[in-house]
Structure 1
Amino acid sequence: MRRLLSIAVLAAALSACGQQEEQAPPPPPEVGVLTVQPTSVALEQELVGRLAPFRSADVRARVPGVLERRVYQEGSDVQEGDVLFRIDPAQLQAALGTAQGAQAQAQANYANSKTAADRARQLAPTNFISKSDLDNAIAAERSAEAALQAARASTQTAQINLGYATVRAPISGRAGKQQVTEGALVGQGDSTLLTTVDQIDPLYINFSMSAGDFNRIRSMPLDRGAGSGQVEIVLADGTVHDQLATLDFSGDVVDPSSGAVQLRATLPNPDRRLLPGVYVTLRANMGQQNGVFLVPQAAVLRDANTAYVLVAGEGDKVVRKPVRTDRAQDGQWVITEGLAAGDRVIVSGVPKARPDAVVSPKPWSPEQAQAAPGAAPGAAPAGTGSAPAGDAAAPATTEDAPAAPQDAAGQAPAANDAQD
């Protein structure tokens, strides 16, 4: 009987102990916090552009004639002034000879007229020649001089046309495909296109930006010092070009069909590896934003009204702070309003944190997120949200574990007493 009483007392004591442990409050949930400070961030715009030659010149036949031969190799680099084509110069040489003969005749007429005019000037004071004859002699001299100037101009024109029979490169660059074969009549009526020379070092990058983004960036208080206007080029295979481009033009007119503003950058291409017409992705540095905060994307939450973050405030109490996000960049939100220097933003364990609740903040770093790739910081509601229940139940489970053998031991004598 006494054994039964002792067992009952022991069971009552264990039951009371278990109730006290169940009533004990759970410890504050552990969260990872990032202490933010204002910083400067480059405002980058990712856009798509198309490469274009820096200069492009059409090589045309400027005089009529039969194309004799092509001198250059198609697709090769040529220098300004290099010979590209030759046109049959026979007719042009004949025209030059005719002009030179006319010039010689005009030169002779002018010499004769000048001699007669000089003689009349000498005789005029002695009255051996009438004033009318003097005037006629001087007029004939002037007409001969004008005819000589016209003959010289015709000769110069013929010489220029003869020079055009040798077609030269107007600029340095890469010569394209031949458009007309040898033996064809060119330059008859219209200027015949023979080939095109493109300068591909440097290259232009033509791209556009929506008028809304363009006006927003222009109105932002950006530091447009060093680095502003530089453009990074990402090629189609994902590699980054080793040369940086520079913005050199922005349009002031919005295209009514697309609602975009045209921009242009200049890209060095010393090895001539890039070719015109290729589409590339570019990241344009529009300037530096000062006094902004960088917060991991997992820490920024949203409701129907605004974006907000949870901050471990005074006394480790959770405070909700509405923020203004400008854009996402490299896995982080750029926040322009809502945070202050030194705020401890909760990054991991966000589902455990509730406004006005007390938490146990621990420093958070990006390396922690990389060490646990299976769960992004603060972005695994299922596993993280069940942690408080597990943490609260853990002490009771630990304390009750030794009690199980005692209960089993206590029940064994009771069974023996029942048998007794």
Structure 2
Amino acid sequence: MNRKCLLLIPLFFSSVIITACDNKPAVKTAMEPEVGVVTLAPSSVNIKSELPGRALAFEIAEIRPQVGGIIIKRNFIEGDKVSKGESLYQIDPAPLQARLDSAKGALAKAQATANNIRLTLNRQSALIKSNYVSRQDYDTTRSQLNEAQANVAVAKADLEQATINLRYANVTSPIDGISGKSSVTVGALVTANQENALVTVQRLDPIYVDLTQSVQDFLRLKEEKASGKIAQQQGKIPVELMLENGKPYRHTGTLEFSDPAVDETTGSVTLRAVFPNPEGEILPGMYVTALLDEGSQQNVLMVPQQGITHNEQGKATALILDQENVVQLREINAVKAVGNQWLVTAGLRPGDRVIVSGLQRIRPGMKARVLPSKLNTPDTVAEQ
């Protein structure tokens, strides 16, 4: 073999190696996005609605004087309990007593006048038959008697009013409750039915809690109550309460009634619940959260909140993977949030695989690769 042939052998093998490299399959560059899914399965769930509420006094009495005069005594301690009929203030009774005595005298005078005229009329009745008294004089006397009797009635009414006014000098509480801050002190001049209350008494046991609920939830609540899905106590729905500090309230209340009107600005309905309040733990004006037990619902689908979004029209939607791992968009009816899940009544079926992670990397029509979901709840089963 000559020198020229030896030089051609390496070139031949180099070309073979280069050709072999060129025939290697191309590396796949577009990777399918990875998503986490949960497979839906029917389950039972105990539903409790959380409704914002505000406490209100069961009864409120704004105490105002019904007669004018000088306050000579205050008979209560601000913030203490007062009983129905208990004296709160004493208005100086002397002027009122004088008016009462005057009314008694006026009544006695009117009665004496009426009696005198009656005697005159009786005498004239006997004499008119013998024509010793003219008919005109007789009629005049009878008219005077009628007027005198009317004056007696007026005097009696004045006496009754004077008696009532003297009684009003002792200002009492019309209800059992807690007294507030007094707006007057001893020596203050008050007038009958003045604008400013002397003090406010509030009955706090039991106590009202006004709750706010959307119209949609309110209608559903009425249907569930009528169908017997919601447990009731003597025809009333029991309600639990969470205080502002996050602690549960020890007493259970009941739902009493709903406002027949809808708030046009918020589209909500006001519900009123009543709670025992023997310890005075709830005060008027406190904001609380009511827990309304709507009972257990069977064979429902619960979807993690991560798997539900809302479109521009405000409708709830979910992305699912079909059998070929293609992303599909579903419009659903998510009626209620329960914990970290949504109760779905339409748009999804048992066995559907709802995408709960990797949502930002996909869109409908794309194929995706399934990863096991880390969401493990009794109402959903992770795709393995």
| TM-score, scaled relative to structure 1 | 0.65
> Which residue of 2 is the match for residue 417 of structure 1?
none
SS of the residue corresponding to residue 293 of structure 1 reads strand
SS of the residue corresponding to residue 186 of structure 2 reads coil
> Which residue of 2 is the match for residue 235 of structure 1?
243
User: Residues 319 and 97 from structure 1, CA distance in 2 versus in 1: closer, same or farther, beyond 3 angstroms?
Assistant: same
Aligned residue runs from structure 1 range 249-328, under 5 A: 249-285=257-293, 287=294, 293-295=300-302, 297=304, 306-307=317-318, 324-328=333-337
> Which residue of 2 is the match for residue 69 of structure 1?
73
SS of the residue corresponding to residue 73 of structure 2 reads strand
State the AA in 1 paired with 2:56. Answer: A
Greater shift, 189-198 or 150-159, is seen at 189-198
Is residue 54 of structure 1 aligned with residue 62 of structure 2?
A: no
SS of the residue corresponding to residue 98 of structure 2 reads helix
State the AA in 2 paired with 1:329. Answer: V
Asked if the contact 1:33–1:344 (Cα under 8 Å) also holds between the matched residues in 2, the reply is yes
Asked if the contact 2:39–2:382 (Cα under 8 Å) also holds between the matched residues in 1, the reply is no
Whose helix proportion is higher, 1 or 2?
Answer: 1
> Which residue of 2 is the match for residue 174 of structure 1?
178
Determine which structure has more spread, i.e. the larger CA radius of gyration: 1
Q: Hey, what's the Cα distance between the residues in 1 that align with 2:338 and 2:249?
A: 20
State the AA in 2 paired with 1:306. Answer: T
Q: Give the percent of matched residue pairs that are identical in Structure 1 and Structure 2.
A: 33
Listed as ranges, the gaps of 5+ residues in structure 2 are 1-36, 359-369
Asked if the contact 1:186–1:192 (Cα under 8 Å) also holds between the matched residues in 2, the reply is no
> Which residue of 2 is the match for residue 36 of structure 1?
42
Is residue 204 of structure 1 aligned with residue 212 of structure 2?
A: no
Q: CA deviation at 1:318?
A: 12
| TM-score, scaled relative to structure 2 | 0.70
Listed as ranges, the gaps of 5+ residues in structure 1 are 1-30, 352-358, 370-375, 385-420
> Which residue of 2 is the match for residue 157 of structure 1?
161
| 1:175-207, Cα deviation, whole Å (9 max, x unpaired) | 112110101111178365211100111212234
Q: Hey, what's the Cα distance between the residues in 1 that align with 2:185 and 2:178?
A: 19
Asked if the contact 2:254–2:274 (Cα under 8 Å) also holds between the matched residues in 1, the reply is yes
Q: Which has the higher contact order (CA 8 A, sep 6+)?
A: 2
State the AA in 1 paired with 2:185. Answer: T
Q: CA deviation at 1:239?
A: 1.0
| 1:336-378, Cα deviation, whole Å (9 max, x unpaired) | 13566xx457799999xxxxxxx9xxxx9858x9xxxxxx974
| 1:119-139, Cα deviation, whole Å (9 max, x unpaired) | 223333343322222212211
Q: Hey, what's the Cα distance between the residues in 2 that align with 1:170 and 1:85?
A: 13
Q: Hey, what's the Cα distance between the residues in 1 that align with 2:66 and 2:306?
A: 69
Is residue 335 of structure 1 aligned with residue 344 of structure 2?
A: yes
SS of the residue corresponding to residue 222 of structure 1 reads helix
State the AA in 1 paired with 2:343. Answer: V
SS of the residue corresponding to residue 112 of structure 1 reads helix
User: Residues 255 and 168 from structure 1, CA distance in 2 versus in 1: closer, same or farther, beyond 3 angstroms?
Assistant: same
Asked if the contact 1:298–1:378 (Cα under 8 Å) also holds between the matched residues in 2, the reply is no
User: Residues 63 and 218 from structure 1, CA distance in 2 versus in 1: closer, same or farther, beyond 3 angstroms?
Assistant: same
Asked if the contact 2:75–2:88 (Cα under 8 Å) also holds between the matched residues in 1, the reply is yes
> Which residue of 2 is the match for residue 102 of structure 1?
106
Asked if the contact 2:114–2:145 (Cα under 8 Å) also holds between the matched residues in 1, the reply is yes
Asked if the contact 1:40–1:291 (Cα under 8 Å) also holds between the matched residues in 2, the reply is yes
Q: CA deviation at 1:79?
A: 1.2
> Which residue of 1 is the match for residue 148 of structure 2?
144
Asked if the contact 2:241–2:249 (Cα under 8 Å) also holds between the matched residues in 1, the reply is yes
User: Residues 242 and 137 from structure 1, CA distance in 2 versus in 1: closer, same or farther, beyond 3 angstroms?
Assistant: same
Q: Hey, what's the Cα distance between the residues in 1 that align with 2:310 and 2:131?
A: 115
Aligned residues: CA RMSD: 4.1
